[in-house]
Every structure is written in C-alpha cells, then in structure tokens.
Chain A
Amino acid sequence: MKRILVGIKRVVDANVRIRVNSDGSGIVTDGVKMAINPFDEIALEEALRIKERGAAEEVVVASIGVSEAQQQLRTALAMGADRALHVRSDTPVEPLIAARVFLKLIAREEPFLVILGKQAIDDDNSQTGPMLAALWNRPQATFASKIELAEGVARVTREVDTGLETIEVDLPAVVTTDLRLNEPRYVKLPDIMKAKKKPLDTLTLSELGVEARAQLKAVRFEAPSQRQKGVLVKDTAELVGELRKRGVI
C-alpha cells in the first residue's frame, strides 16, 4: 500500500503566553491549552492532499508523548488521517530518540514518504527530520514550500535563507514542512465523531526496542531579559532627531 507517515507533536498552543515556573524547572503548563504543533498540521494537510489526488492510499499519523497526546492524534484523525500510532512516553524525548522511534515505525509501516514539521514550537530544536533521514539512510528535503511527486522521485522547493531552492530526491524520503506549503483545513464536527471509530494503536518505547536515555539535560529555565519600554515620539522630525542622537542614522 502506498502509505505516508506523518509526525504529530503535542505542544503548548502558539497563542499561549509562556511563563517560566517559579523553581526554574520548566514552563507553566497547568491549565494551558495544548495543540498539534502548527508545522505538523501542515505536514498532515499535505499528506491528505497527496492522498486526495490519488498519489497515496493511506495516511498514518504518529505521536510520541504522554497519554493526552491521543487528543492531538484524534484531531489528526478528524482532519482525515486513516490510522494513528501513539508511542507512549511520560517524559519528553530528545530529537535523536524521536528519530529512532520513527525509524522503527518506518520498518513497520514501510511508507514511501515521511512528512514532519520543520520544527516544534516548544523546544525549537529543528532536528528530528534530518536525524531520521540520516538513520534511515534516505534523502531529506527540509523547509518544503512545494512538493511534486512523480514515479519514484519527489521534487521539493525549499525555503532557504537566500530564497527558494529546488531539489529532487529519490523516494522513500523525509520531507519537513515550512509555513507556505499549504493552509491546513478546519475540522468539521461530523469528522470528530467519525474519528472516534478510527484505529489508534498504543505502543511503548521498550516494545519498539528504543532506549529513552537522554544525552542532554535541561539544568535551568529562565525568563529572557526584557527590553526596556522606550518613548513615544510625536512626529517624524523628533524621531529622526533621536536616531541621529543615537548615531544609528
């Protein structure tokens, strides 16, 4: 079966105001709204569009995380994914561990395409996609803004610092999404009901044979230093005067 595997991460919603907790061990998460990482939503949307135009037969979503991550997987199923895999982990896993988990899922599911977000908006690491491609010994096309599939290859336009770059990769491959790839669909109420009946399998790291040992430790979280609020100027003449005084123009 022509299958696409999509990674979904449960993260603090992008609109939540982030606060570091009092003992510096992390951020305040009590009662905070959680959501699918926005880049992963784009990844799922792209997989669904590829399936809808007949270039794939099945879209499988997978998430590594706490049991509540099943909420995000149900949302993904409501968006249109066919099946979900939940790899249970009560502590966050490092990108290299996440990549090892996905490598195991690839061995089970044999996708021709794996689509992940280019970064998660919580840790902002931007590592898992290229790490997975390396372990799998397959191509990677990161920061995708356009994906065209042909027989055995994908032509991917990438958002890079200098503009847009297009590469061609043999399939199977790992693609990571950038913002302009698509605009994810909204979930409709009947689809939420339907999603409850779709298969969602739960696995553990040990069942997959992946060791969760972390190589990095977060020692301390701190709030960033704040900029001082400046002054309002009354007009452009005053502004130019201030900027000249500072020597910046």
Chain B
Amino acid sequence: MTQILIVAEHDGATLNPATAKCVTCARALPEPSITIAVFAKDATAVATQAAALAGVARVLKVENPANAEPLAAVIAPQLATLGANFTHILGPSTTFGKDLMPRVAALLGCAQVSNIMAVVDAAHFRRPTYAGNAIVTVASEAAAKLVGTVRTASFEAAGAGGSASIEEAKLNVALPTHTRFVSRAAAKADRPDLQSATRVISGGRALGSAENFKILYQLADELGAAVGASRAAVDAGYAANDMQVGQTGKIIAPELYIAIGISGAIQHLTGIKDARTIVAINKDAEAPIFEIADFGLVGDLFQIVPELQRLVAASRAGQS
C-alpha cells in the first residue's frame, strides 16, 4: 500500500477542483490509500465534498481558528506532523500548493517533486523543466518520504461516488503568529474560473488597451469562456495578474483555447499546450502561435472578434 496524504485547497466553503486532480494523480501510484486533509476554521462543508471524491479512503478535518486563511507558515507545521505516517504528501501546483508544499518538505527534510505530470511508479515521476521544453524523469531514493506538487493540467479531476470516512484530527503543534493575513482583492467571480474552464479566450499586447480587452469579454460571455492574457498584456496593464497564462502564470488545459493577438512566446505556449483545440487569431502570419494552433486565422482582430461573436451567437441560435 502507498500511503498518500493530499492537502485540500479550498476557500472555506468549496473544495477547489485542483484537489480532485491531485486525487487522480495519487490513484496512479501503486495500491494507493488516499487521505485528504482539510485545514480550516470550520472544515465540515469542504470535508464532505472531499469525502465524495472517488478513490478517497479518509478525510481528516483539522479545525482551528488559525486555519481560517491558508497561510503556509501556519499550515506547514500541521501538515508536516500529519505527514509522519505517509510516504507521499501531495498538493496542487497552484499558488496555494507552491507556497505551502516546499515549506512542508523542508520541515520533513525530504525532497519535493514539483509539477508532477505523470506517475511512473512510487519513486519515478515525470515533470516539465525549462518552460516545458524538456521533460525530465526523476527518481527518488527507494522508500524515501516524498513531497510533490501536481501539475493540474495533466490530470482529469476524480469523479464523484466516493464515501470516505471523515475524522477529526487533533494536533498538538505550536503555531507561529509571525505571519498575518491582511486582505484579499479577489477577481470578479461572474466568469468561469480560468483554471477549470472548458473554454478560454486569451488576449495579448495587440489588444492595445484595457478598454479594448472588453471585446474579448463579450466573446467570452457568448461562449461561456474564461478570459486569460499573455504576460505582455498583463505587464502592460491591460489585464489583471491572475489572468496570466504561461510558464510563470497559470498552466491550463481547456477543451478550447482561443489566442487573440498573442504572438506565442515559448513561455506562453507552455501554459496552453495541453488544450484540446487551439485557435490562433493574429495579423502576423509568421507568429509562432500558428505553429501549434489547430486552426489559425490571419487578420485584424478588431474586425475578426466582433464578427466571431456574431457568428457564434447565430450558430448557437441554430441559424448558421
């Protein structure tokens, strides 16, 4: 049996889909026995959702007012303590997991495998390096305890149908007070979440302004899509930081990705190459984005995007 502990990512009420993807990764390990830990002030709702994931044996609620916000410095010593009886401790490769898991690994004195894209066996994993331009297979020492972050774009979310037991874990761990949550400026939640959306439309620097980005939102609303951006567009202030797609932003795998006015720097392409279908719209026929796009359209985006929106609307109304 491989004893695996997964840390749940959540917002206090809802389990983040990244956790279900970690479960799928964990199920690829030999004879997996999967436990999910929920750190929260009140963990009941999230624990119930975690217990319903197929393949999960046990959910541990670790309730503490100090766990109200996901502060790595506070959660890490608790997760490291819980992790004593597990060989594999996994979290998602989101900003939550990237912040937390290395701190846990260091407390346990063990190595971390970041961005696991495939499980070979209990000690061998494949992961991307150099912005996805080289895939490396890493081996850990036999039977060594290991921390990992899971590249969520590489795994489907585990389905429902589980009925794990839910237990309370009481931990006697001194928690630091040197790190305090102040505030969160959350993105507007009236659109699908970029990381779990089935369709994503992204804009690049060619949009020219934050104002012009609105034409993407209109098309996105028509398609029920999330909106992303290239680093150049975020740096230029046309789009918010949480919209950045690529090596140092979000790695996504939607069914449909439409890149608009994005030339396709290698760092951007690494964030989208797991998309099922890629569409590129760009006025430069030589743009590298066309090298990986399933469908390319060369032309003026300010003409194409509104036209596309009209056609999609008509098509959805069954008039095309």
**Which of B111, B134, B180, B223 is close to A216, meaning CB atoms less than 8 Å apart?**
B111
- Report if A179-B279 is in contact (Cβ < 8 Å); known contacts: A218-B138, A239-B297: no
In the complex, B320 has a CB within 8 A of chain A: yes
> Which B residue sits closest to A231, measured CB to CB?
B295
Is A184 interfacial (CB 8 A cutoff)? no
Q: How far is the CA of A236 from the CA of B71 in the complex (A)?
A: 47
Could you tell me the distance in whole angstroms from the C-beta of B272 to the nearest C-beta in chain A?
10
The yes or no answer to B261 lying at the interface (CB within 8 A) is: no
Pick from A94, A99, A141, A248 the residue with the most CB of B within 10 Å: A248
Bound-complex Cα distance A19 to B285 (A): 25
Could you tell me if B296 and A248 are in contact, using CB atoms closer than 8 angstroms?
Answer: no
CA distance A14 to B267 in the complex (A): 9
**1/0 contact trace for A104-123 toward B, CB 8 Å?**
00000000000000110111
Residues of B within 8 A of A123 (CB): 129
Q: Is A56 in the interface zone, CB < 8 Å from B?
A: no
Chain A neighbourhood of B315, CB < 8 A: 240, 244, 249
What is the bound-complex CA distance between A132 and B73, given in angstroms? 12
* Total cross-chain contacts (CB, 8 A): 260
* Interface range for A: 35 or more
Chain B's closest residue to A28 (CB) is B134
B102–A95 touching, CB < 8 Å: yes
CB of A230 within 8 A of chain B? Answer: yes
Is A194 an interface position by the 8 A CB rule?
Answer: no
By a CB distance below 8 angstroms, the chain B residues around A75 are none
Are B277 and A126 in contact, with the CB atoms below 8 A?
A: no
Interface of A is mostly: mixed
Bound: A229/B278 CA distance, A:
10
A20 and B134 form a contact (CB under 8 A): yes
Q: Which of B135, B234, B276 has the most CB of A within 10 A?
A: B135
Q: Closest CB-CB distance, B294 to chain A, in whole Å? A: 4
A203: shortest Cβ distance to chain B, in Å?
22
CB distance from B289 to the nearest CB of A (A): 11
What does the 1/0 interface line of A55-88 toward B look like (CB < 8 Å)?
0000000000000000000000000000000000
B235 adjacent to A121 (CB under 8 Å): no
Supplied contacts A122-B130, A217-B138, A217-B139, 9 more A-B pairs, CB within 8 Å = A27-B133, A137-B176, A159-B241, A161-B95, A161-B96, A166-B183, A166-B184, A230-B293, A243-B256
5 CB < 8 A contacts A-B: A94-B111, A118-B248, A166-B182, A231-B295, A240-B320
B-side residues, CB < 8 A to A, are: 11, 71-73, 76, 94-96, 98-107, 109-115, 124, 128-141, 144, 176, 178-187, 195, 199, 223, 231, 234-235, 240-242, 244, 247-248, 250, 255-256, 266-267, 273, 276-279, 285, 290-298, 304, 307-308, 311-312, 315-316, 320
